[in-house]
Structures are given as structure tokens and as C-alpha cells.
A and B are shown apart, each in its own frame.
Chain A
Amino acid sequence: MTRSFSIETKNHGPVRVIAIRGYLDAHTAPQFENVVAEELRAGRCRLVVDCTDLDYISSAGLGVFMTFIDEARQAGGDIKLAAIQPKVYQIFDVLGFPALFDIQPSVEQAVARFDGAAEKD
């Protein structure tokens, strides 16, 4: 039984938006890991992960965020999360992610946080 998972990346100004859909679990996490690794390798370190259509996330999926957050921040960027459904947010919440990650209600707001940060700098 394989549940569907898909990834789509696009530019939103200077920010890269990665939309993840469906089930991000131990099966599909390596796929997501490869995509994020590729973005960082290409020097795109301002990332917003659009979770609008994310139906489920497991520890392995969360592990991808842990894997790259330091790298993105050290490169002067960040991995921000946006538009997480309440039932998915609960998992982020119980495992303590809100304290470590910038989580915004919408992709636009998450993107704007980058612009704000740039102005402050």
C-alpha cells in the first residue's frame, strides 16, 4: 500500500517555494530529502515549504527539516513552513517544532518574512 506524495518547486520572487502534497512518511521522506538537498546545493537557501496539501507527516518527514535547517541558516537563508493543516500541525507541535522553525499561516506571509529579514539586515 503506497500513499501518494508529490513535490513541486517554483520561484516566488527570490524565495523558492516547495509544495509538498499527500503523505510525507518513511517511504517518501528520502524523495523530499533529495529535493531539498538539491535546492541547497544549487545555492537556493531561502526556502518556504508549502504544506497546504500535506495530509500527513511522520518523524522521517520531520527529520528532513532537521537535516537541512542549520545548513540553510548558515548559508544566510532559512526553511520556513507555511499553511499547515491543523491535524498535521499537531504533530509539529507535539514534537516541539514551533520553537525551532518559523511557521506561517500562508505562503505569502512566509515569503514576506524573508523580505522583512532582508530589509532589517
Chain B
Amino acid sequence: MPYAGLTVDARTRDLRLDSSRLESLLESAKILGSSLDLREQLNHLMRTVMGRLLVTRALVALRDGEGWRAAAVRGLREIGEGERVDPQRLAGLGLTVQIPIGEGAREAGFLALPPPRRPGWPDDDSEREFLEALLSLASATIENALAHEEIVEANRELARRIHELNTLVELARAFSSTIDPEEIARVLMLTLSGRWTVRRHALLAWPREQAPLKLARNVSDEELARWRALAEGAAEPVRDGEFLLAPLRSGEATIGVVALGAPATGEDYTPEDVEFCAALAAQASVALDNAWRIQDTLYRRQMERELELASAIQRDLFPKRLPEVPGLELAAANRQARLVGGDYYDVLGDARRPLLCVADVAGKGISASLLMATIQATLRALLVFPLELTDLVNRANALLCGSMPGNRYATLFTARYDAASGTLEYVNAAQCEAILARRGGGIELLEATGLPIGMFPGVHYEARRLELAPGDVLVIYSDGVTDAQAPTEEEFGLERLADCVRRLAGGTAQQICDGVLEAVSQFVEETPQYDDITVMVARRVSESE
């Protein structure tokens, strides 16, 4: 019964086919149900479909917004995975059999194949039914996998957000624990380069009253200059090619820029990234501003402390009391400028042959005060030796040249008065011309006889000699007197001072000294005093006194 035998064979084959389809479905259900990995599921689906239907090309497209995207592609060079596709184009490529995955409006995607080579297709209903069963099985699990992917992505997004929040909080803490602008810049750039995997980056700041700040990695000076120009007018982040530029602002002004190169991950900055970067830059701007302000305050405080110290040193250098010199009245006064100047006066040595000194040290502050102390110590030390006045000044100059820093010098008027003879010998080392008011009303000016001391070691100073007659008045002073300014910016000047001395010459040395200072005070009114004012008055008393 060959015919009947054939029939049995065909039935057996059908049964075997059916059972293999069932096995395959069962296996698929197991595999598809056991994984949430979309890729694994699609791979399995492809293997099964291609194996059963004997096709070499296949594509699974999944819904992406309004269209479709290729999620798994086999044997097609024309289309890459992830690419957007549409049914017509696929049909054009020969994938004319297109079977939906999932049903109706909830269709998750479709499978596209060329007409299968399996004998009997498309008339063999059971093969088509099997395929539909497989796809319907797949649709549920693909949707699960898609939902899982979404959750994973949402979790990653959440992790990113939490990380951003942590970053903000952490930076606030880090910024508040330092007042070093460079440290702030460093922490900011580490954070930004880490957050977006940036290899090329820079921070440039040009605050108004502080040293500029520059931190750059793998960028050129040319780029820095361009970014500065681009940021100057910008309040919001701007782009320069691959670079994202976030301005650093202080009030309404841009005082710096942060530049970030393209992320190494290959992704570009999203609008959220730009916003976050701007927030971090703003936070850093405030921290930098504060740090600069604190440094400013500290610097000013240090300056003030230094000035106080300088002022104290200077006060200690002035003689507490002037010596009693037979036949000579002495008075002296010093009025310190707010920003300590470098005036110094003294009367040194033997009371019968005293040395009168008025000096003005170049510069201000603590270094000027220390220089004054050096001058005083040098003169005192030299007075131990019986030296002529010129020798004394020559040696003092030589010694001071060795001990004064390069650009330092002092002007000095020094005079030695001999009480026995009434002779006055003086050296004027570039100090203001002293005024000698003769009893008869004549005025003589004792002009400079040499260069300032402490400048040139080999210089020889000349001395002049004059007789002080009873009633004669010598006024030695610093340029703070003649340079004193009225509100009109007019200077007190030598002429006004000489007139003043002539007018006061009848009084005691103390009265003359007080009178000169009073005249200067009236002249300047409320104008701030910029330089030290020093006046020393020596008056030879008349025999009747």
C-alpha cells in the first residue's frame, strides 16, 4: 500500500512539524520570559524566525515616537541598527512580508522579511499561524523589556540628578572652606571635567583689583584670548565650536570665563547640561568674589597694622626732650601724615656743641621708619669720634650707602652749633633751604650744599659756616611744610614760610615753632595731610634774656 504509506508519511511529517513548532514556541516562551534584556530577546526572535522560515535577511523595527526604528537587522547592508525605517523603504529592499508585533494601536513594532523559501509559504496556514503566535508571545515580552529599559534609563537619569545635586551641595561646602581663589578655580575645573569627561578646559578670570587667574589644560593662549572676548559681553553661556563657554559674573560685569571642550564620551552638551554648568559657574563666581574681597580686607588690615607699627617706631625715634644748650633756645615739632612719612629730627651730642638734624627719608611705611632708625644709630655712633662736621657726614653717607637698599636715600640738614663762639656750621644734603631770620629783619636761605645721603658712597660734602647773633632765628624744616596744600591745591611755599618766620622772629623758639605749624594749619584748612611736617627752630638768645 504505497499510496496509503505515503499518506501516513505525510501525516507523520505534519505531526512532527506541529510538534517542532510547539517545542519552538515553548522554548521561545521560556527564553523570552526569562530575560528583560531587549537585545537578547530580539536575537532569539531573529534566530528562530530565520531558522524556521529559511530566510537570510530580516529586520525588526520598533516604535519610536511617530515612526519606526530598526532594532535588529540581519543580512541587510543598507540599514544599520538604530536607524529610522519605514515599511515602504523596507518593501523596496525586498522585505515585502511585514508582520506586526503586538496588536492594533499598541503595536510595538513589526517584523519584515523577504518571502520565505519554505515550501508551501504563503499557503501553509500553520507556518503563518506559528509565526503569529511567536510574534504575539514576543510582543508582550518586548514591551516588558522596553518598559524595563525605560525604568533603567529613568534610574540612570535619577542617579544623574542626584549626582548633580550632590555636586552642588558639595561645591558649596568646598567653596566656603577656602579663601584661596586658585583653590576655588581648581576644584571647579576638576568638578566640571569630571562631570562631562572633558579633556580640554580652562578658567580665566580678570577681576578689577586683583591678580588675574588662569587655569588651562590643553588649550592655547590664542583660544583663551578669543574666549575672553566672547565672554566679555555675555551673561549666559555661549558656544565656540566644540567649546562651551560659561561667563563668570560679578554684579553686572563679566570677570571671567570657564571653557569646556567636547565631552570625551562623544555626546554633546544638552540644554540641561548647559544650565547646570551655568549654575556651577555662578556658584564659583560668588565664591571667587568673596575670596577676593576677603583677601582685599586682609591686605588692607595688614597694611594698617604695618603703618601703626611704623608710626610707633617713628615716634620712639624722636627725642623725648631737647637738650638745654647755653645761649640757644630750641624747639621742634613733627606732625605725622596719616600714611606715615619719613621725617626725622634730633639734637645729638654734647650740649655745648650740639648737632641739630632734620632728615627726610624717601618712601613711607615701615621700611622708611627702619631707615630713619639706621640714620639715627649711624649718627650717634659717629658722634663718639671727634670728627669735623664734613667728616661726620662723609662717613655717615659711606656707611648708609652700604646698609640702605638700592633705591633708598635721605635728605639731611645737619648743623653743629658752638655755644662758646656762637658759630654754626652746617651741611645741607639736598634738604629744603633752611631759613635764617636775622634780628634786623633780613632773611637768608641756607641752600643745599650736597646730594642726598645714602646714594653715592664716594661723595664729599661741603660745610658752610655762619655766625648766629643774639636774636637770630634759624628754622629748619621738611618739605611737608612748603608742600602743604590748601583746598585750592595752592602750596604753602617758601615765600609764605619766610614771611611767617620774619613775622614771628621776635618770639621764643617755641612760639615760632607753634606759630609756623598754626599758619600751615590755617592755610590747608581741611585738606588731608599727605606728607610729614617737621619744624625745628633754634634761636640765639640776646644777652638781656
Contact = CB atoms under 8 A, between A and B. Distances in A.
A109 to B, nearest CB: 23
A79 to B, nearest CB: 13
Contacts of A91: 159, 163
B100 interface: no
Nearest to A29: B190
Nearest to B263: A96
B265 A59 contact: no
Given A63-B192, A70-B199, A91-B159, A27 B177 contact: yes
Interface string A90-105: 1101111101100000
B195 A95 contact: yes
Label chain A's interface by main secondary structure.
helix
Contacts of A60: 167, 170-171, 174, 187, 190-191, 194
B190 A30 contact: yes
A25 interface: yes
A64 interface: yes
A84 B542 CA distance: 100
A63 B265 contact: no
A53 interface: no
Contacts of B56: none
Interface string B197-215: 1110000000000000000
Contacts of A65: 194
A4 to B, nearest CB: 15
* B156, B166, B194, B197: residue with the most chain A Cβ atoms closer than 10 Å: B194
B159 A63 contact: no
A94 B177 contact: no
Given A58-B194, A61-B194, A67 B217 contact: yes
Contacts of A99: 265
Contacts of A1: 173
Contacts of A97: 197
Contacts of A58: 163, 166-167, 170, 191, 194
Contact of A62 (B160, B174, B194): B194
B156 A66 contact: no
Contacts of A26: 167, 170-171, 173-174, 187, 190-191
Nearest to A70: B199
Given A26-B187, A59-B167, A99-B265, A66 B194 contact: yes
A33 interface: yes
B186 interface: yes
Contacts of B196: 95
Interface in A46-95: 58-67, 69-70, 90-91, 93-95
Given A91-B163, A100-B264, A59 B187 contact: no
A97 B177 CA distance: 29
B193 A95 contact: no
Given A30-B186, A62-B195, A95-B163, A100 B170 contact: no
Contacts of B525: none
Contacts of B159: 90-91, 94
A70 B199 CA distance: 8
Contacts of B174: 25-27, 60
Contacts of B195: 59, 62-63, 95
B183 interface: yes
A99 B197 CA distance: 11
Given A63-B190, A66-B194, A93 B156 contact: yes
Contact of A67 (B156, B170, B190, B263): B190
B191 A27 contact: no
A96 B173 CA distance: 26
B264 to A, nearest CB: 5
A29 B173 CA distance: 13
Contacts of A64: 190, 194
Contacts of B263: 96
Contacts of B160: 94-95
A70 B193 CA distance: 13
Contacts of A93: 156
B194 A59 contact: yes
Interface in A1-42: 1, 25-27, 29-30, 33
The 9 A-B residue pairs whose C-beta atoms are closest, nearest first, are: A62-B194, A63-B194, A63-B190, A96-B265, A26-B174, A59-B195, A59-B194, A60-B191, A63-B193
Given A62-B195, A96-B197, 17 more contacts: A26-B173, A26-B174, A27-B173, A33-B190, A58-B163, A58-B167, A62-B193, A62-B194, A63-B194, A66-B197, A67-B217, A93-B156, A94-B160, A95-B160, A95-B194, A96-B267, A100-B264
Interface of A: 1, 25-27, 29-30, 33, 58-67, 69-70, 90-91, 93-97, 99-100
30 contacts: A26-B170, A26-B173, A26-B187, A26-B190, A26-B191, A29-B187, A29-B191, A30-B186, A33-B190, A58-B167, A58-B191, A59-B163, A59-B194, A59-B195, A60-B170, A60-B171, A60-B190, A60-B194, A63-B195, A64-B190, A66-B194, A66-B198, A66-B199, A70-B199, A90-B159, A94-B159, A95-B196, A95-B197, A96-B267, A100-B265
Interface of B: 156, 159-160, 163, 166-167, 170-171, 173-174, 177, 183, 186-187, 189-199, 217-218, 263-265, 267
